[in-house]
Amino acid sequence: APKIVARNVTKTYPTLAGSITALDDFSLDVAEGEFVCIVGPSGCGKSTFLRMLAGLEDISFGTIDIRPGAEPGKPLNSVVFQEYAIFPWKTVIDNVAFGLQMRGVSACERRETARAWLDRVGLAKFADYYPHQISGGMKQRVSIIRALANDPEVLLMDEPLGALDAQTRVVLQDELLRIWEETRKTVVYITHSLDEAVLLGDRVILMSAQPGRRLAIFEIDLPRP
């Protein structure tokens, strides 16, 4: 069953010279539990689409439908951005627990859930550190598990490993794959790297667009090893 149904999604921004089309007539279905990667050159509209999926931006034309499951109270989405969107004044564990607090989960259960997630990515002993005391790779692990701890219907990621050095990126790719295999979360993942898309995705969407031209969209289905 599709978890995400996006139909003819178009985004225009007003500018002084008229308007610019950031995304033109893009349609995509994502099945429940599927890991879809979107690759394309800078400026083709990937981030714009993700922000619309996340409800952070209005859709100019078309529709996006994220279909909730049977379990009530789950947030529709959680987003992981390239920049570590974690709170510098909160400890690692409080960062991970933050989304749960917004959902009214008890303090005790929040800490338990957050600790379990920290354990899964080898960060348990850094629970009481502050973000400035840990590495970039660790900070991005915190961003990712904070999103997952919310148990969202869909996980949206915009170049989550883009700011990391090559070595750390490889480690995090492995970790993401392992976590995805355990959780089977529905994922939409934006990256500049075709290598990364092919490594992580069940399906890769190649977006190609020239200013003022229509989007060309190619899809590749990948067998998982």
Q: What is the dihedral of CA 171, 175, 178, 182, to 10 degrees?
A: 180
Choices 35-43, 89-97, 131-139, 215-223; region in contact with ligand ADP by CB under 6 A: 35-43
Find the DSSP H helices in 132-210.
136-149, 166-183, 194-200
Least CB distance to ligand ADP at residue 17 (A): 11
Cβ-based nearer residue to ligand ADP, 15 or 167: 15
Q: Which of 13, 3, 15 is nearest to 59 (CA)?
A: 13
Amino acid at 217: I
Cβ-based nearer residue to ligand ADP, 45 or 137: 45
22: contact with ligand ADP by CB under 6 A: yes
152: contact with ligand ADP by CB under 6 A: no
Cβ-based nearer residue to ligand ADP, 40 or 160: 40
Least CB distance to ligand ADP at residue 198 (A): 18
Contact indicator for 160, 124 with CB cutoff of 8 Å: no
Q: Map residues 40-79 to x or -, x wherever contact with ligand ADP holds by CB under 6 A.
A: x-xxxxxxx-------------------------------
Angle at 152 between CA 57 and CA 137, to 5 degrees: 85
Chain residues that interact with ligand ADP, rule: CB under 6 A: 13, 20, 22, 40, 42-48
